[in-house]
Structure 1
């Protein structure tokens, strides 16, 4: 299931916007690398491979988020495409947070050779990537149930970055969209 989720995110992300040709080529190339690393996990289970995959996936999605925000900022009008890109950007930030949290967990086990993770899950350890998605979105939205908590200093820093990024994205995006909408209604 994890492999299909990551592959679909990469494929949809590659063709979600009308990127300039150079950006499209970079996305396709990095998407192929990311998908390949993703599916290699079926044959070779290795923490280093997982870490390289998550880093590749993180860079790929960060590139898309930056281009989405640039597209939103450069647009002259607020239309359905801009609204959908705004929502997609927010959702991708949540996925980026989950990837960072998963990388934190892998690094904690890899660097310190301990079974205790960087994140304390209510049922013990993370059972899958969906646990990191859950923690990321609970943190991003500042909902904070408290059933999953960061334990290590690095995991706490990542959680803080996710929370601040979520709030800044929403406030800046709303300011941009309202400004564009108001400037459009004043000229009509």
Structure 2
């Protein structure tokens, strides 16, 4: 498959690698997933994100640099586990920068698309999922810096063991479902929760509405 062909299916590839991050823990033990599998899946997703950036040289270089840096940090953490908190901060920062860049790029490409194709729909979904991941990294950082910022996490568990819970909380917040089983306690956690709940609504109301309007308009022109 040529690189041009890969670019045609860039959103599909990115979306499916995203779903493995969200649901990969269903097929592995919690510890194995958080300590090993999740790192592999995130690196794979960053690699697929490079295809989305491929027509923007500067951002392509940044994504490759972040991929290499993330790989180095992960390897170093396995070699010296005594500095796990430090490497976790660095790793989360790397992922946050990448998903911030890729979210804006996906939204930009979807927004500027002249016709709503299947690929654009996957791009639309990918952008929404990316916002949830951004929320997860923010909540993870808050809990890492200030433990017990969220009520409902497993007591006595390490931050790594609460990854799934924080991921779940991020998407529940994004979708404004709010079951209440996990709730933000600290002021920073509450403000971050409000921010990502609003971001989810803005995305649905603005970006999704624009894509739907384009689809309706082009469908009418074809009739």
Contact 2:150 2:182 (C-alpha < 8 Å) held by counterparts? yes
Residues 1-188 of structure 1: pairs in structure 2 closer than 5 A:
1-16=37-52, 18-44=54-80, 45-108=83-146, 116-124=147-155, 125=157, 127-188=161-222
Do the aligned partners of residues 23 and 17 (structure 1) sit closer, same or farther apart at CA in structure 2, a change above 3 Å counting?
A: closer
Using the TM superposition, give the Cα deviation of residue 186 of structure 1 relative to its aligned residue in structure 2, in angstroms: 4.2
- List 4+ stretches of structure 1 deviating above 4 A: none
- Residue aligned with 1:76, SS: coil
1:19 and 1:38 map into 2 onto residues whose CA distance is: 28
Q: When the two structures are aligned, how many residues end up with a matched partner?
A: 181
Using the TM superposition, give the Cα deviation of residue 11 of structure 1 relative to its aligned residue in structure 2, in angstroms: 2.0
**TM-score, structure 2 normalization:** 0.74
Query: Which is worse superposed, 74-83 or 47-56?
Result: 47-56
Do the aligned partners of residues 151 and 88 (structure 1) sit closer, same or farther apart at CA in structure 2, a change above 3 Å counting?
A: same
Alignment root-mean-square deviation, CA: 1.8
Using the TM superposition, give the Cα deviation of residue 136 of structure 1 relative to its aligned residue in structure 2, in angstroms: 0.3
Query: Which is worse superposed, 27-36 or 67-76?
Result: 27-36
Contact 2:153 2:165 (C-alpha < 8 Å) held by counterparts? no
Using the TM superposition, give the Cα deviation of residue 183 of structure 1 relative to its aligned residue in structure 2, in angstroms: 2.9
Residue deviations 1:53-78 (CA, integer Å, cap 9, x gap)? 10111011110010000001111000
Determine which structure has the larger helix proportion and give its number: 2
1:81 and 1:19 map into 2 onto residues whose CA distance is: 17
1:184 and 1:18 map into 2 onto residues whose CA distance is: 28
Query: Which is worse superposed, 39-48 or 171-180?
Result: 39-48
- Residue aligned with 2:78, SS: coil
Using the TM superposition, give the Cα deviation of residue 18 of structure 1 relative to its aligned residue in structure 2, in angstroms: 4.5
Any gaps of 5 or more consecutive residues in structure 2? 1-36
Using the TM superposition, give the Cα deviation of residue 21 of structure 1 relative to its aligned residue in structure 2, in angstroms: 2.6
